[in-house]
Chain A
Amino acid sequence: MRRFLSLFLAFLCLFSFLPLTLGSAEIPVDDAGYYQKFKGQNVSINVYNWGEYMSVNDPDVLDVKKEFEALTGIQVNYSTFASNEELYAKMKSGAADYDIIIPSDYMIARMIEEDMIEPLDFSLIPNTKYIDEDFLNMDYDPDNAYSVPYTWGVVGIVYNRTMVDENDPIDSWEILWDEKYLGQILMFDNSRDAFAIAMKKLGYSLNTTDEKEIREATEELKKQKPVVQAYVMDEIFDKMGGGEAVFAPYYAGDALTMMSENEDLAFSIPKEGTNRFVDAICIPKGAKNREAAHMFINFLQEPQIALANCEYIGYSTPNTGAFALLDDETRNNPVAYPPADVLAKTESFKNLPKAANKLMDECWTQIKSVGAQVNPWMMPALLLGCIALSAAITIYRRIRRGRDGMF
């Protein structure tokens, strides 16, 4: 009888919670109790992520941010950046307080070196167990103390099949320098990715610190500038989707998203080899709600959530739980999960020494500011303009004085 009563009570409890659970936690999580700690305490965390890099703000898909808020009662303030360098600038300027950031490999290494991110407490992130071992103790975080991998992928060339010459094999970075496609090529608008392409084209390592090689790559990029239509990051989605350009080097995951929106697009990984990147979740120094941030990291590694994210953004997941849930088509997609022989030719970014970083930043500003279309007559015209202007002033004043004198 007593047992029956308790069962009955249990049922009662279950049903009284039902409306609530129906609304919020459709997603099974490993240990719901873990997420209850900050309920009703009005805690919030600031998340700074790449643009279009989490399943949020789209009514048609599972909203990770809202799920987390419903589950934990922690409010998430979500904002986005366009490149690692922009993230770095924002962090370094001191103008921002974030609790969660998602930089790429080399930027994580740089931030570790410059003491900008906090070591993680892995006892608070039980879901680390889902991370594929291949992605632990990577070069950028050798002791696996600062970051939890979020996604990975390779860089390749997105191209529009209907606009390329059929006889052109798209298997080399060379094509991004081809004058035949003048004004039809988009290029990365961040130094490290752009340099990586030039380095690979020249046959150097992505991580070269040799000044001569960096300068050579700079020349290569300057040479490319006339054929480049625009330097862009996330604008690529719009431009490639609308058939504005023929080629654009970009990240495989985003390429998949673009290809699903525009059937003419295809993706190719050049034979010279490419960059294989890992983006990982970190907590910056000075984060206000560190424990809540850990909770968010753990939540992102729930297999269902990781699955929702990687399905939405198209990137490859290091989460074994989510990988197991993927459908076969995605799992065997050579863009998202390239075969071993392609991966063998990839290289990961490492952090460069300070001097090399500085040199690269300087060279990048130079490349961007080089006037591909500097008109040789611009300077003389300007001078002439100035002279004409001052002459006009004097003449005007003289006329005026003369007129005044009449009265």
Chain B
Amino acid sequence: MKSKMISLPYLIWMLVFTIVPLGLVVFFAFTTPEGQFTLDNLTNAGQYISVLLRSIWLALIATAICLLIAYPLSYILSRMHVNRQRTFIMLVMLPMWINFLLRTYAWMTLLENNGLINRFFGLFGLGPFNLINTEGAVVLGMVYNYLPFMILPLYSILTKIDNSLIEAAQDLGAPSRKVFAKVVIPMSMPGITTGITMVFVPAISTFIISRMLGGGSNLLIGDLIDLQFLGNAYNPNLGAAISLVLMVLILLFMSIVNQFDDERTEGMLL
């Protein structure tokens, strides 16, 4: 069939704007500024292992918290009346329409030493607590910004679970905890893995949240890359090497996550 040809514009586009740029990143990662082959960039990137670990650590915590918050919520929503479901899902998506820099900035207003939260506690003679410019603030920023990415896939998979299936399990005498563990969770596995990927990937590579809420002292791997390209320590070769490490890391992570989910289908994202 000749209609295969109509995907040609896309294939060319993909080649030029997806594959070639990634090739350039690899090329930069393995060359000196003069264009000679070198492994120095990668070994230098190894120096920043502590940053890498911190990024993984914070992103994992944020992902776990997102999952813990989002799963019960999605479950509750999916068992609601249809009209109400729609309203609440709309409410979950609505914040995404406000620029995320502004939402994060609003958190700054809340968390600062003289911020609203501390002032609130101040009324009771408590604090001030040191909230901003800490790792906790960075995790909070991640959870806040990426929570909808966890809720939406979980919700869409949980609504697909037939209520009668749960009832059947109950009728067969399974206690509700067992129903949950044996029926609901296994069936929602694709949603869980999608949600985890969709939260973890942006969380590990963010550089704005850590700058705004972490005060620039809780550097993450995204900051490190930004620093080398448009920041205070110009060295695109090192930046490319760190980007490469980050990509490999995420690939590894996704291969682990995907093990949970054998029947991962195309188009599962959202």
A→B interface (CB under 8 Å):
83, 85-86, 88-90, 92-93, 183, 189-191, 225, 228-232, 242-244, 361-362, 364-366, 368-374, 378-379, 381-382, 385, 389-390, 393, 396-397, 400
Contact = CB atoms under 8 A, between A and B. Distances in A.
Interface stretch (B2-10, B48-56, B66-74, B147-155): B48-56
Contact of A89 (B57, B224, B229, B259): B229
Given A364-B233, A365-B228, A385-B60, 5 more contacts: A86-B230, A93-B234, A369-B224, A374-B54, A379-B53
B255 to A, nearest CB: 11
Contacts of A364: 232-233
B259 A88 contact: no
Nearest to B236: A93
A314 to B, nearest CB: 24
B216 A361 contact: no
B192 to A, nearest CB: 12
A390 B257 CA distance: 10
B193 to A, nearest CB: 12
B112 A368 contact: no
B234 A368 contact: no
B113 interface: yes
B235 A361 contact: yes
Nearest to B135: A373
Interface of B: 44, 47-48, 50-51, 53-54, 56-57, 60, 112-114, 130, 133, 135, 186, 215-219, 223-224, 227-236, 256, 259-260
20 contacts: A85-B233, A86-B230, A92-B234, A183-B133, A189-B216, A230-B133, A231-B217, A243-B114, A244-B113, A244-B114, A366-B47, A369-B48, A369-B50, A369-B51, A372-B217, A374-B54, A378-B57, A382-B53, A382-B57, A385-B60
Contacts of B53: 378-379, 382
Which 8 A-B pairs rank lowest in CB-CB distance, beginning with the nearest? A230-B215, A231-B216, A85-B232, A361-B233, A89-B234, A369-B51, A369-B219, A230-B133
Contact of A368 (B44, B186, B216): B216
Contacts of A229: 133, 215, 217
B220 to A, nearest CB: 9
Contact of B216 (A88, A183, A232, A400): A232
B17 to A, nearest CB: 16
Nearest to A242: B114
Contacts of A385: 60
A228 B219 CA distance: 14
Contact of A86 (B47, B114, B135, B232): B232
Contacts of A396: 260
A93 B133 contact: no
A389 B218 CA distance: 26
B229 A382 contact: no
B46 to A, nearest CB: 12
Contacts of A231: 215-217
Residue picked from B47, B130, B135, B230, most chain A C-beta under 10 Å: B230
A381 B230 CA distance: 34
A366 to B, nearest CB: 7
Contact of B229 (A93, A370, A373): A93
B89 to A, nearest CB: 29
Contact of B217 (A92, A191, A230, A243): A230
B230 A368 contact: no
